[in-house]
């Protein structure tokens, strides 16, 4: 039976179990207009304020609605890739933070794909690189790096007549070439002296070193390459995140590996997932000028949100953020990031997440605001393809949830 859309007016709007429309919208992660739509459809009950000018919602009703939205009919996904437990992240049983300090991204990618942490060079295909670079050249100068990555992946798929080979060996081979080509086809950062870089790239170079001059004109030290390598490792996979679920759904239909990566990139393209570091970047950049406390106060006054903090899977603090923050070089950015993190932690007990650490990494190394998203996308490509390998080995087309219809029924007045 449909819930009534409005209940009698209430006289005490300050009762702690009553929420305003804006509070409900923030809790659900939607706009106030969407909350009104839920009310009009009978999905959520509201009460008029005593002055008749606003709506209030009983907290138990909102809690029940949130719980109902969390239900899923997707099948349980058994995975042997990533474990998150006791505030730690593990790849195939190995601590990700330890791997970030001790090995290469290439070795971790192989670990995700095959179970063996063995370094194998990622080498771009020269013809594919030329095709992809030519394909993205007409894009507007203001196109984001991830916009270019999506086009590169699509061009690479079109050029591979054997892309539908989903045997494990073929997928791993495609993964190695695609990852390197995605990075190699990107344009260099404006101001980079390309002659020396091109000579260096005539031989196999680590992916972190290949990516660096495409993100910043700043000359890299060994420590800087190690930091970027660590970030790639820590972002390579994170269990069944939204983009990983999208990638697995694509793989379950036997979509080829390029399409799997395309699905992951599509789901990644949002401020609540891969683009979250850009919001944290703006926060940290403002804090460099106005100071941490003033910046935090301004954000709380504007929308009540501080980007780059908190993670539901890590109540004690994101270990990926802690690792990267410790590896940052000393200087104004690290100092400001530490002061912002301390201020937020003292105010609410909330710890920085990997998006905040990624923002600090990119700002410190004079990278653009969207560089964090690009690092995320390149790194997570390894994880998406690892999940594709698992999905190709499972029964096909197993993701077919049934919607819970909440619209108008035929014949209804």
Q: What are the distances in angstroms from CA 194 to CA 198, 200, 210, 213?
A: 6, 10, 12, 9
Do 143 and 263 sit in the same domain of this protein? yes
In a domain, 31, yes or no: yes
What pLDDT does residue 413 have? Answer: 61
Residue 51: give its domain's CATH number.
1.10.1660.10
**DSSP assignment, residue 215?**
T
* Number of domains the chain contains: 3
Task: Note whether 273 and 244 are within 8 A (CB).
Answer: no
Encoding tokens for residue 126? Answer: 């020269």
> Angle at Cα 188 formed by Cα 216 and Cα 184, nearest 5°?
115
Do 63 and 200 sit in the same domain of this protein? no
What pLDDT does residue 25 have? Answer: 87
Encoding tokens for residue 154? Answer: 């699509």
What pLDDT does residue 303 have? Answer: 77
What pLDDT does residue 51 have? Answer: 65
What pLDDT does residue 16 have? Answer: 54
What pLDDT does residue 200 have? Answer: 76
- Spell out a b/e string for 259-283, using b for 16 or more CB atoms within 10 Å of the CB, else e: bbbbbbbebbbeeebbbbbbbbbbb
Range of the domain at 31: 6-70
What pLDDT does residue 12 have? Answer: 42
Do 173 and 288 sit in the same domain of this protein? no
Q: Give the neighbor-by-neighbor strand order of the sheet with 55-58.
A: 6-7, 46-48, 55-58, 18-20
What pLDDT does residue 74 have? Answer: 56
In a domain, 77, yes or no: no
Q: Average pLDDT of each block of 10 consecutive residues along the chain (413 residues)?
A: 39 62 86 79 76 79 76 71 96 98 98 97 94 97 96 97 97 98 95 76 88 94 94 97 96 97 94 86 96 93 87 93 97 97 92 97 97 97 98 90 82 70
Do 265 and 284 sit in the same domain of this protein? no
Task: Note whether 236 and 112 are within 8 A (CB).
Answer: yes
**pTM for this model (two decimals):** 0.82
What pLDDT does residue 327 have? Answer: 97
Do 269 and 124 sit in the same domain of this protein? yes
């Amino acid at each position: 039976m449909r819930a009534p859309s409005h209940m009698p007016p209430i006289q005490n709007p300050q009762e702690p179990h009553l929420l305003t429309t804006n509070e409900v919208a923030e809790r659900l992660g939607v706009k106030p207009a969407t909350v009104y739509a839920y009310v009009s459809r009978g999905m959520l009950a509201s009460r008029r304020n005593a002055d008749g000018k606003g709506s209030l919602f009983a907290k138990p009703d909102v809690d029940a609605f949130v719980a109902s939205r969390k239900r899923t009919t997707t099948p349980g996904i058994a995975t042997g890739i990533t474990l998150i437990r006791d505030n730690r992240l593990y790849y195939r049983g190995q601590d990700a933070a330890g791997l970030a300090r001790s090995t290469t991204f290439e070795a971790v990618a192989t670990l995700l794909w095959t179970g063996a942490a063995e370094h194998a060079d990622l080498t771009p295909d020269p013809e594919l690189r030329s095709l992809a670079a030519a394909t993205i050249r007409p894009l507007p100068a203001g196109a984001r790096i991830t916009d270019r990555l999506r086009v590169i992946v699509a061009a690479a798929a079109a050029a591979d007549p054997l892309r539908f080979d989903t045997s494990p060996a073929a997928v791993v081979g495609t993964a190695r070439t695609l990852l390197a080509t995605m990075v190699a086809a990107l344009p260099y950062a404006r101001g980079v002296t390309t002659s020396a870089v091109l000579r260096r790239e005539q031989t196999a170079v680590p992916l972190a070193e290949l990516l660096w001059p495409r993100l910043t004109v700043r000359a890299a030290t060994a420590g800087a390459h190690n930091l970027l390598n660590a970030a790639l490792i820590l972002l390579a996979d994170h269990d069944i995140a939204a983009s990983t679920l999208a990638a697995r759904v694509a793989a379950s239909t036997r979509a080829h590996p390029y399409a799997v990566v395309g699905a992951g990139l599509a789901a990644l393209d949002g401020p609540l997932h891969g683009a979250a570091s850009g919001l944290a970047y703006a926060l940290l950049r403002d804090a460099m000028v106005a100071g941490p406390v003033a910046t935090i106060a301004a954000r709380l006054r504007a929308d009540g949100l501080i980007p780059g903090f908190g993670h539901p899977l890590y109540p004690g603090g994101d270990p990926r953020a802690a690792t990267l923050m410790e590896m940052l070089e000393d200087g104004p950015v690290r100092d400001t990031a530490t002061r912002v993190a301390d201020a937020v932690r003292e105010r609410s007990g909330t710890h920085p997440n990997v998006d905040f650490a990624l923002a600090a990494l990119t700002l410190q190394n004079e990278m653009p605001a969207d560089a964090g998203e690009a690092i995320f996308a390149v790194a997570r490509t390894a994880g998406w393809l690892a999940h594709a390998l698992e999905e190709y080995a499972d029964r096909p087309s197993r993701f077919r949830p049934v919607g819970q219809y909440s619209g108008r029924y035929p014949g209804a007045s």
